Structure formats: C-alpha cells, structure tokens
Amino acid sequence: MARMNSIVAAFLALVVSFGFADHAEAAEGKHLFILSGQSNMRQPLPEAFHNVVSGVFGEDRVIVVTVARPSQPIRKWVKDWQPPEGVEATPDEKQGELYDSLIKSVIKSVGEKRLASVTYIWMQGEADAKAGWAGVYKKSFLTIIDQLNRDLDRDNVNFVVGRINDYWLPSNNTPDGDRVRTIQQQLGEENAHGDWINTDDLNRGVNPWGGFSFGDGHFPPPAYRVMGQRFAHKACKLIDPSLKIDPALVKEHFVDSADDIKTHGAIGASVTATKPNAKQDGGVVSLALLTDGKFAKTDHTDAGWIGFAPQEEPIELVIDLGEIKSIDTIAVNTLVSSKALATFPNKITYSTSADGKEYQVNNDRYNTIRFYNAKQLKQLRSQGIAPQALMLLTEQRQRMGPVTARFIKVTIETGDQWVFIDEIVVNAVAK
C-alpha cells in the first residue's frame, strides 16, 4: 500500500534527519499518544487523558495529539478502503484524509524529539455500525496500525480501543452494532500491543447538548472524563505493565444516581423556593429536606420528597452556599413515576450568581436540560413509567476558568407534570 504523498514524504525526511527511529536513544525519549475517532473523542476526554499520562510519566515526557471529527467512517483513515463483499458504498475521493491530518499533526507536535513509545487511542465505530460495514472493520483498523508503524518507522505501536456503547445496537437502527462491538473487544484482547475499554456504564445522564437520556449514543461530560482516565490507564500499562499508578489519578468520579454519592458541597445550605404543594411540602422540616444529604425512597409518598404541582409559572429554587465557592457540578435528584403523574419536566435550567441578584447560565447547552428523545418520552408516558429517581447532573464550566458563585438557581418548567425533588446536589463526591 503506497502512501508516499507529500505529507508522509516530509515525515520520513524528519525520521532520517533526526534519527526518530533510533531505538537505543528512544528509551529516554517521550511517550507519544495519538487520540483519534468520531465525536465521542470529544472534550473533556483528551483533557482527562492528558492529566493521567502526565501524572504518570511527567509533563515533560508526554506528547498528546488529538485528531477527531464527528460522524466519520473508518475509511477516512484508510486510503485503499473497500466495502465488505456484496455491500455497496458510495465512492469517496477523500478516503484517508483524516489519517493525513493525523500524521501532519504528529509531525508538527513531535518535531525533533525522540520517542520512547507510541500509543494510538481509538474511539470510533458508530458510523460503520450504522452503515453495515462491520465485515471489513477489523482489517481496516489493523491497516491504520500498519500505517502508523510504517510512517513512524516502528514495529510496536500500542493501541487502546474504546468499544462503542450499548446504545448502538440493531434495536436502535444500527445493523452492525453488535458485530462492531465484538470486533473492537477482540482487537484489544487478541493483540499483544492492544487493549480495550468498556463504555456501557457511562451513557446515562445529561449529554453535551443538555438532553437527558436513559441510554444515549453519546455521554455526559463527567463520563467523558472517566473514559479519558480509562484510556490512559490502559495505555500506561501497555507501555510498562509493572507501573505503579497512583490510584488518585484514575479514581472515577462519574455519578449518575444517588446511590453513587458519598457526600456533596451543599449539605446544610439554605434554600428558598416557589411554594410546594401543601400535601408534599416536607412538613416541619420543609425545604431543608433539599440539602440534608439524604435521598428518599422511589415512592412519591415518602416524606423525603418535596412536590410541586403543574403550574404555568416556572418553579424557582435558590440555594445559598453561604460564601463564594468553586462549583464543579450541580444536580437535582428528581422522581419520575406515572403513578405520581411525574414523568419529566419540560425544562430545567441551572444558573449561578455571586450576589444573588445577577445570574448567568454557564455554557447554556449543558445547563438547559430537556428529555433527549421526545418519541421515547411519549412512549414512556403512554406505557407507564415505574417509579425511579433520576440524577440530573451537569458540569459547570466557563471558557476563562472555573465557575465560582455563592448562589445557585434552579428554574423548572413543569409542563403538565408534577415535579418531585429530594435533594439539590453541588460538587458531588462519589463513593
């Protein structure tokens, strides 16, 4: 397979000029990590990955290059890709273009530096599973590894594959979802230089567009951080299986239910709110129930739930933390239950303020929450929803730095549904 285009030729010139493949000296070089794939290779996954590998090897010993693009099939990394026998595919003159971009980025990032190792991190497969191209997926991925070995003048490029999550199944109009998932796991298990990570336990919650889903093709932002940690942990172990990695570096903090929470930063904070329904107002304790660190049973008659009846004006809850604090996450634990006539509010918005007067929504698309799949919600409402608690958690991020505030406002548009809340959670700490 000849790929001696100008990009690769320039790269090979660097190899010759700088002794890039001098393995005797490379043992003291840098560890190169290449992150590539589709939209699920999104931030904050690369950030979390970088934090781990730099914590293990040292910031001055690692190079992390990320080249990813949404909705791309694997042929964008393979120049001579051919569809499975008997399967039609529209010709694509830009096959291999993402691999060309990847090599160009590697050249720019590596420069004259010597490499001790190269590890390829791969989170892709949804597009091929939807297209029905699983028949050539394994061959295509191994071709990418061959390309890297050739173009980096190596014979030992490591790789870690992220298995696409269990949303991507034939039941969700993904014909080859099962096959691609099986192949990805096999790639990690059958190759001495390979490994894989599971992502099935991470796709419940509020996705990057503010849509809550019981199981989405994408992941909540905190879950992307966990994926980055998992990728990095496996990558470090491929480089040196004897490494003793600080457990704090890879401790997972993904929270998608009250059962995952050990404590949080709003316990004891004062709460003011729109008046709850008289039958569900928390009794003598009242709104203090919302920040007592306790979670009610999944039954709306449990005294731990505060209930709000359907109303035209939005519900407003304001939490006073007592002082300005750094805020990483905010969540509301709500009850959905057909029996309680509580199926999912129309919208929930989180905003913060330093003085309790001027509020801002930090990154609107994360903090304006709706149910992600309207068709699924309609079906759930018609068929009935067994009582369950939903942790509606979002990350708080600003482009210029962390979110700091004293006051948090939760605004809820009820629609025709009751809203039951047992806890407002700030900076959740996982068990």
pLDDT tens-digit profile of 241-260? 999 999 999 999 899 999 99
Whether pLDDT at 229 is above 50: yes
What is residue 274's predicted lDDT score, i.e. its pLDDT? 87
Best CA proximity match to 350, nearest among 210, 208, 202 = 210
For 205, counting Cβ atoms within 10 Å of its Cβ (0-12 exposed, 13-18 middle, 19+ buried), the class is buried
What is residue 28's predicted lDDT score, i.e. its pLDDT? 79
3-state class (DSSP) for residue 161: strand
Query: How would residue 232 be classed by pLDDT, with cut points 50, 70 and 90?
Result: very high
Whether pLDDT at 82 is above 50: yes
Number of Cβ atoms within 10 Å of the Cβ of 177: 25
Quote the CA–CA distance of 83 and 132 in Å, as a whole number: 9
Q: Is 3.40.50.1110 the CATH classification of the domain at 6-250?
A: yes
**Could you give the residue ranges of the DSSP H alpha helices within 168-290?**
177-190, 221-239, 247-250
Query: How would residue 282 be classed by pLDDT, with cut points 50, 70 and 90?
Result: low
CA geometry: angle 209, 212, 214, nearest 5 deg: 130
Q: Is 3.30.2320.30 the CATH classification of the domain at 258-430?
A: no
What is residue 424's predicted lDDT score, i.e. its pLDDT? 97
Summarised one tens digit per residue, pLDDT across range 3-46 is 445 445 555 444 444 344 444 444 579 999 999 999 999 999 99
Summarised one tens digit per residue, pLDDT across range 375-417 is 888 888 889 999 999 999 999 988 767 899 999 999 999 999 9
Whether pLDDT at 214 is above 50: yes
132: left (phi over 0), alpha (psi -120 to 50) or beta: left
Q: Do domains 6-250 and 258-430 have the same CATH topology?
A: no
Whether pLDDT at 283 is above 70: no
What is residue 285's predicted lDDT score, i.e. its pLDDT? 62
What is residue 18's predicted lDDT score, i.e. its pLDDT? 39
State the average pLDDT for the chain.
91
Which sequence spans correspond to the domains of the chain?
6-250, 258-430
Quote the CA–CA distance of 290 and 282 in Å, as a whole number: 9
Average pLDDT over residues 140-159: 97
